[in-house]
Structure 1
Amino acid sequence: MSFLSRIMILKSKAHFSTDGNNRPSDSFSRSTFEGARKRKSNQAKSRVVLLVTSFIAVYCVIGGRLAQFAMTPPDTTSSILPPDRLMASRPDIVDRNGALLATDIRTVSLFAEPNKIIDPDEAVEELRTVLPDLDTKGTYKKLAAKTSHFAWLRRQLTPKQQSQILALGIPGIGFRPEKRRFYPGGSTAAHILGYVNIDNRGVAGMEKYIDDQGLADLAAAGMTNDQPLQPVKLSIDLRVQGIVRDAVVNAVKNFQAKGAGAAVIDIHTGEVLGMASAPDFDPNYPNEGATEGWLNRMTNGTFEMGSTFKTFTMAMALDSGKVTLRDAFDATNPIRIGGFIIHDFHGQHRVLTVPEIFQYSSNIGTAKIADLVGIDPHKEFLTRLGLLNKMDTELPEVKAPSQPRVWKKINSITISFGHGVSTTPLQTAVAASALVNGGKLIEPTFLPRTRDQADAIAKMVVKKSTSDDIRFLLEFNGTRGSGRNARVPGYNVGSKTGTADKVVNGRYSNTLNFNSFLAAFPIDNPQYMVMTFIDEPKSGERGGGTISAFTALPIARDIIARAAPILGVQPSFGKDNSALLASY
């Protein structure tokens, strides 16, 4: 037997031996195996716990960062707006006939990513070849800020400028689409429409009114888009508006005045069909009119309206029942009160009837009428007409009137002929409309309104008989008094002039006037009220002086002559309205 065979036999015997000497070795093997199995099980559990803990920690960190981002205020260091806000549409604005007044047009704006600009000096030099008015220092400072990722360089470029800048091939320069507000009529209805800022948000006029109705809140919440919106229709007639603005601008130029204004109102609905104030501005370039043009003198300027206030004094007296058209008052001598002397500009120095007081614009006669009615009823009546309260209308630019803190006799007397209370020209026209439309005070509106809608909000402020008497007085003055030069052939115009000395350094000036004019037509069946004013004219029509009859009156006459046919007012010739032309 070989050596290898012997070894195999010995190993076999040792393996299958059941001798008691082998039992301790078997027990040791089993315990070793159990120990290894437990160690592996514990290691597996530890790994699972570690993995779960790691996942929990990661998700806690993510949740904490999300909470931090939610509570952190938005970063306001960048001027860029989200794309949906840059392209958000504003509604078109149209006149009562659908003529376009304001719309959005697409444009682009230039921006830079300073961290990608290689050479700021070279970039600025190249950009100035296309944009010569570019702020060199400011632009270089923006482009040199390597930690910045965005900076506006120029908003609202023309297509030609965009093409030229693209041709420069400057790295880090780009364009973002935007919308720009465009006003086809330019300055025609500037103070009514207002204007928007660089981000297409309303700043003044009806543009701001539209935003205040909810458009701005929707934009802030990111709920606007670039889809067209329903147009906003205004009450104005673009044709009438053009006539009114033309007449006002010409008056400032021809009479060398500081300012002027006019409005045409439908007396039965309160709709403003046209309104202008000069100087004005072009809403396409609003900053160019920032010095004087932004002030809307028709609604945001208050003035002593002069003798046009005698219309309200007469209405007060007639409505109180203490005065009738048949009464007369002594206007022979001036009135001395409180150290002041009240006299007549066109003094007749005799007893005047009520129509004559209105015709000759007698301060003495008007003062005695106001004194007869009393101080408290006088104040109450002007308040009832809305002349002492802030006017309620859509335009944001509305100034509150001013009046004495305490009304004394001297205050009531001077206010009776237009000194001592300052109101806006538009609310003066609104109050005058109530005196000729049957006695209904209707707040003005720049949005379409039907007669039924107007009647629902109207307030009766005077009796119908009072309204009839005021129409008579306006017609009487329009044919025999200071308003006779405002009569347009074919149109029966009733009117009242007002010339007020301006207050300079606390004293009334003898050389500076604020002139106003009220005209209702056709006065036998009134439909429209025209209010005009001119501030500090240096000359008058045909060299007639600087009083209302030669400055404010011609503005109204021009407006009525041109606008009446457009408004559909039928001319009347002869007593039976028959044609006065004959053919041979």
Structure 2
Amino acid sequence: MIRKPLRPLARILRARETGQDPDVIEAENRAERHAEIQDRARKRAEGRLVFMALGFVAAFGLVGFRMGALAASDPAEPRAQATGAQIISQRADITDRRGRVLATNMLTHSLYAQPNQMVDGKRAADALAKIFPDLDHERLVKDFTDPKRKFLWVKKKLSPEQMQAVHDIGEPGLLFGPREMRLYPNGRIASHILGGSAFGAEGVNSAEVIGTAGVEKAFDGWLRNPANEGAPLTLSIDLTAQSAMEEVLSSGMRRMNAKGAAGILMEIGTGEIVAMASLPDFDPNDRPRPALKGDPSDSPLFNRAVQGQYELGSTFKIFPVAQAMDLKLVNPNTHINSTTPMKIGKYSINDYHNYGPSLSVADIIVKSSNVGTVRIAQMIGVERQKAFLEKLGFFAPTTIEMVEAPTGKPIVPARWPAVTSATVSFGHGLAASPLHLAAAYATLANGGRKVTPTLVHGKKRAAGERVVSEQAASLALAMLREVVKRGTARAGNVEGYEIAGKTGTADKPRPGGGYYDNKVVANFASVFPYDDPKYVLVVTLDEPTGQLGGGESRVAGATAVPVAADVISRLAPILGLRPVGVKPLPDIEAPPKNKVKVAANQ
């Protein structure tokens, strides 16, 4: 900036020439300079005032907006910022096919202690031992009186009553942390399917719920995925049918003095499991610890329907017969040599009764002839027999959505000589689960197309591969119907519902080799209704003893079949199946009004 001189030389010389006072010029310039300085100072002051005014307006506007937002929001206690990784505690619900809750979450509290903040650790330990008798009183006293101890968990889950009782102790070193816990509102119902859950990563204010078994573990990632936005996992089971299955199966197990039982109800068209039970069972809200000693199958955690590996006995006989009919080797009226005993090398194969020199293929199934079945298996040949059973799924674990499924891999003979082919044809020498058996029978009832079991409802699936021709499957199903009408499963006739099925009784193997003389596994695999197959039901009893002809009997016809008949009687109405050929009760009509006599007042 160039400042204007106060005494410009040109004006000064001109003023002297004209006789003017040069000091006047200086005074004018000085006054002009002062005026400019004042103008600049005034403008700076005005700018500062405007800036300050805008700042005050913005500040008061922000304060007013925040006050309005707080006034419109719900009140909440301030919480300290948690350190470390965030714990995802939300877990999706599990429902049955009708949307009824099988597993959900419930807000509860945990109890933890800070001994260094306690006023009287011994008094607190004494009081807690009275509220929670399962706690170790001596251990509590030691922990609560340890000056170096800063933190310890006391109880991971508290009921409201327990929380109030702890609060009444009045000890500042006993603190509560909110968290979600997994709740199974139906208790023991579907316990083996659901499995159970436990706490994973834990913090004071939250805990991660993780699956430990069953579908809870199989779908653990899906149930914990926030991207699903809380959508429930819908299972294929029907809660009403599941409850009825477990109730009737439990009653039948006690009636037959069995040590265990399993039941599977499966939709033939979709492979969806409508009900699946294993007894004894447990409460997933209080899941017991796994057994470390003894036979794993003795534990209530053992799922007999999926993990059980049993020789399934005569229920297998329909498979070589169906395969032989598919290969055009026989038809239902073909007569087969049934002379007993039958020798294969040094081994003898006998029938329960002597059925004479020959039996038709249909009667081999109806009368459950071991010899006749072996003859048909010999016609098929070892390699074709193995390939057929593998197609039916008896060489691999089922793909059902449970973590226990791989442990139910069938026990298949490493070698397959002629005697193995013979015994496998009537259900001995190859051990598989009841679920394998249910899937195989569903395949026959499905017109020969393979059925894969599933626990997920509404899952779209491609049609299964063809295992046997539709004609052979239909003929096999007709033979199974005859077994119930006039064969070993006559006790399975349920009035109003046409049942087709096959019994199977297999001796239990000893752990050290050989078989028990008085212990069996009894099975009944059935299809209903016969004229329009919709469901497969498999009932398995472990070491049953029933009544037949006034004495004890362990055969499936006297043990598993009556129990299965009770299950079908109970489940068929629940499934919406109307009985056929049962006369309805007559309607009770009100008498006509003109025939009603009214007593006169006396």
TM-score range, shorter chain: 0.7 to 0.9
Q: Give, in angstroms, the shift of residue 570 of structure 1.
A: 2.6
SS of 1:244's equivalent in the other structure is: helix
Match of 1:388? 395
Residues 92 and 230 of structure 1 are in contact (CA less than 8 Å); yes or no, is this contact kept in structure 2?
yes
Match of 2:70? none
SS of 1:529's equivalent in the other structure is: strand
Match of 1:18? none
Match of 1:472? 478
Match of 2:578? 570
Q: Give deviations 1:344-393, integer Å, cap 9, x for gaps.
A: 11331231000010011000000111011101111010001101111111
Match of 1:330? 337
SS of 1:168's equivalent in the other structure is: coil
What are the within-5 Å matches in structure 2 for residues 69-218 of structure 1? Answer: 85=87, 88-199=89-200, 200-213=209-222, 215=224
Q: Distance in 1 between matches of 2:213 and 2:354?
A: 46
With normalisation by structure 2, the TM-score equals 0.77
Q: Give, in angstroms, the shift of residue 228 of structure 1.
A: 7.5
1:314 and 2:315 aligned: no
Q: Give, in angstroms, the shift of residue 289 of structure 1.
A: 8.2
Residues 573 and 579 of structure 1 are in contact (CA less than 8 Å); yes or no, is this contact kept in structure 2?
no
Query: 494, 512, 515: which is aligned to 1:508?
Result: 515
Query: 527, 531, 545: which is aligned to 2:534?
Result: 527
Q: Give deviations 1:474-501, integer Å, cap 9, x for gaps.
A: 1111111111211111111011000111
SS of 2:478's equivalent in the other structure is: helix
| Distance change in 2, residues 1:582/1:145 (3 Å) | closer
Q: Distance in 1 between matches of 2:409 and 2:519?
A: 24
Match of 2:65? none
Query: 472, 479, 482: which is aligned to 2:488?
Result: 482
| Distance change in 2, residues 1:273/1:338 (3 Å) | same
Question: Residue type of the partner of 1:415?
Answer: V
Q: Give, in angstroms, the shift of residue 247 of structure 1.
A: 1.9
Q: Give, in angstroms, the shift of residue 252 of structure 1.
A: 2.1
Question: Residue type of the partner of 2:129?
Answer: R
Residues 92 and 223 of structure 2 are in contact (CA less than 8 Å); yes or no, is this contact kept in structure 1?
no
Q: Give deviations 1:228-268, integer Å, cap 9, x for gaps.
A: 81111110111110111112211221111111110100000
1:555 and 2:563 aligned: yes
The CA RMSD over aligned residues, in Å, is: 2.4
Q: Distance in 1 between matches of 2:83 and 2:395?
A: 44
Residues 89 and 228 of structure 1 are in contact (CA less than 8 Å); yes or no, is this contact kept in structure 2?
no
Match of 1:537? 544
| Distance change in 2, residues 1:186/1:346 (3 Å) | farther
Q: Distance in 1 between matches of 2:562 and 2:395?
A: 28
Residues 302 and 424 of structure 1 are in contact (CA less than 8 Å); yes or no, is this contact kept in structure 2?
yes
Match of 1:428? 437
Q: Give deviations 1:489-521, integer Å, cap 9, x for gaps.
A: 111101100011111131122211111001101
Identity of aligned residues (%): 36
With normalisation by structure 1, the TM-score equals 0.80
Unaligned ranges ≥5, structure 2: 1-81, 201-208, 292-297, 590-602
> Which 10-residue stretch deviates more, 103-112 or 137-146?
137-146
Query: 292, 296, 320: which is aligned to 2:299?
Result: 292
Question: Residue type of the partner of 1:174?
Answer: L
1:460 and 2:466 aligned: yes
Residues 281 and 289 of structure 1 are in contact (CA less than 8 Å); yes or no, is this contact kept in structure 2?
no
Match of 2:357? 350
Q: Distance in 2 between matches of 1:234 and 1:81?
A: 37
Which 4+ residue blocks in structure 1 deviate beyond 6 angstroms? 80-83, 578-584
| Distance change in 2, residues 1:546/1:103 (3 Å) | same
| Distance change in 2, residues 1:343/1:82 (3 Å) | farther
Q: Give, in angstroms, the shift of residue 147 of structure 1.
A: 3.3
Unaligned ranges ≥5, structure 1: 1-79
Match of 1:253? 254
| Distance change in 2, residues 1:548/1:571 (3 Å) | same
Q: Give deviations 1:152-174, integer Å, cap 9, x for gaps.
A: 01111111111111111113110
